[in-house]
Structure 1
Amino acid sequence: MKKLAYVCLYTGLLLGVMSCSSASIEDYQNTTPRLDLATFFDGKLTAAGIVQDFSGKVTRKFTVTMEANWTDSPEGKQGVINEWFIYDDGEKQTRVWKIIDKGNGVYQGTANDILGIAQGESRGSALRWRYDMQLAVDGSEYQVHFDDWMFLVDNQTIINKSDIIKFGITVAQVTLVISKQED
């Protein structure tokens, strides 16, 4: 019984430490190069990525072709990012992001499969998006939460890492490398 109590205590402490140690967007305040969505997501881009399940096993691979542009409006700079996905099993998907730059590194976005408004915040070379999505998997749909981080590596490359969360548990991860294309 005493051994079980110690196991429970250590497990609780470990979970407590892990929950307190998550990254904050403020951690990237002084990192370079500085990420500006309107500068990076402008014109033609391509990406390649993987989806991993909760155990880390790669379950899907995909490529994305993107076209992005920005205009000025009274609400702030507005961007449209068209994304065309092709998965390794032949599935095709299209997503159109509509993004508003609210100023001071704050962004809001919507897309066809995003529930509500995605909230983004940028500091230094990083951007963190948080949003809910209706995700189709094997003929069923699930409402999940995305904790989506982008890191500008250089003026031509972003690495994007997303945790897909259901009931507070990370059930999958997406890793994506996005590259700007020469005109």
Structure 2
Amino acid sequence: MKILLGLMFSLMIFGCSSQSLDDYANSSPAFDVESYFKGPLQAQGIVMDRGGKVTRRFTVEMLGTWKDGQGKLEEWFIFDDGEKTTRTWKITKLSNGHYAGTAGDVVGSAVGESNGFALHWDYQLDLPVDGKEVRVTFDDWLYQVDNNVVINRSFISKWGFRVGEVILVITKK
């Protein structure tokens, strides 16, 4: 019985496939990060716990500027409990669809890559929780639906275990 349970567990673990940017190669519209994140944008989102329960809702006003491969994305968050926060990303376009980004609460540098209509970011973030900062990892996927809409799905993990998720719909103003 133990062997059967072990085999079933192994199949569940290894049978799950994760997405890759190559899954979106040659898809359209091609995600033009500089063009999309230029000018005013707005977003609505939810934060979910590891069980999928919505724990917070929020809106974001954004303003993006770009010059010579250097971008700045300012974000102003308002949460359903009245909390207000800001984040300013500084983004550098590298070669072949690669990007690097920094922000005040991002640990080190975020690394990103786009392919087809998708953009993938990986980074660590110091997240305020109950008066303390908790370092978590974001596995951030953005999908450009059309010229005016991007859907952002972020998986949040701590020590390799998923602890939450953020879903955000970003629209051009």
TM-score range for the pair, normalised by the shorter chain length = over 0.9
Instruction: Determine the structure 2 residue equivalent to 1:5.
Output: 3
Tell me the CA shift for residue 143 of structure 1.
0.7
Give 1:113's aligned residue.
105
| 2:15 equivalent among 14, 17, 20 | 17
Q: Deviations over 1:49-69 (max 9, x none)?
A: 000100000000000000110
Taking only the aligned residue pairs, the percentage that are identical comes to: 50
1:27 maps to a residue whose letter is D
Deviation at 1:8, TM superposition (A): 2.2
Cα distance, 1:138 vs structure 2 = 2.0
**How far apart are 1:4 and its partner, in Å?**
3.0
Q: So what's the TM-score if we normalise by structure 2?
A: 0.98
1:63 aligned partner: 59
**Secondary structure at the residue paired with 1:148?**
strand
Shift of 1:13: 2.0
User: Which protein shows a greater Rg?
Assistant: 1
Gaps of 5+ in 1: none
Q: Which residue of 2 aligns with 1:135?
A: 127
**2-structure distance, mates of 1:61, 1:40:** 24
Aligned with 2:40 (options 32, 41, 44): 44
**Cα displacement string for residues 87-120 of structure 1 (whole angstroms, at most 9, x for unaligned residues):** 0011111000000001210000000100000000
Deviation at 1:139, TM superposition (A): 1.7
Residue from 50, 55, 64 that aligns with 1:54? 50
Q: Which TM-score applies when normalising by structure 1?
A: 0.92
Letter in 2 for 1:139: G
Q: How does 1:75-154 map to 2 (within 5 A)?
A: 77-154=69-146
RMSD: 0.8
Correspondence for 2:27: 31
Matches of 2:24 and 2:156, distance apart in 1? 22
